Amino acid sequence: MTPDQLVTQFCAEWIEPDPAKIAEYFAEDAVYHNIPMEPVIGRDAIREFVAGFTAAFGGIDFRVHRQVTDGGQSPNAEESSGVVMNERIDVFTLNGTVVELPVVGVFEITGGKITTWRDYFDMAPIQAATGGG
């Protein structure tokens, strides 16, 4: 699977999320960083974060508008490395309000696993849904 295919499949998992299955996309020492918040380090911590997040919000529809890849496109997962960036709208429900959150995601892939995932977004839509903004 190429890095592009891996990220496309990974994003599709979030509509009906299984935290254990999502965590398997990550390297053991991976870093997941929602830029407005503190990073989550390690596959186990990422699985716990995803479990808590999905318990609160349920599934998320990652509506990817553009996705670009830089790096190897080997179909061999062990050799699959590169950087994938996508521009998307993450759609989820918070406090009964549908939130459409514009996001830019940057995924670093090494050996067919996500080693780093950074999401860049504005907290304002989330704060508005929670009454905090």
Distances (CA, A) of 86 to 63, 97, 118: 10, 25, 11
Asked about 122 being catalytic, the answer comes back as: no
Q: How far apart are CA 66 and CA 104, in angstroms?
A: 10
**CA 19 – CA 114 distance, rounded (Å):** 15
Note the residue count of the chain. 133
Active-site position among 4, 70, 90, 122: 90
**Whether 119 is catalytic:** yes
Catalytic residue among 29, 61, 119, 122: 119
User: What SS3 class is residue 76?
Assistant: coil
Residues labelled as active-site residues:
90, 119
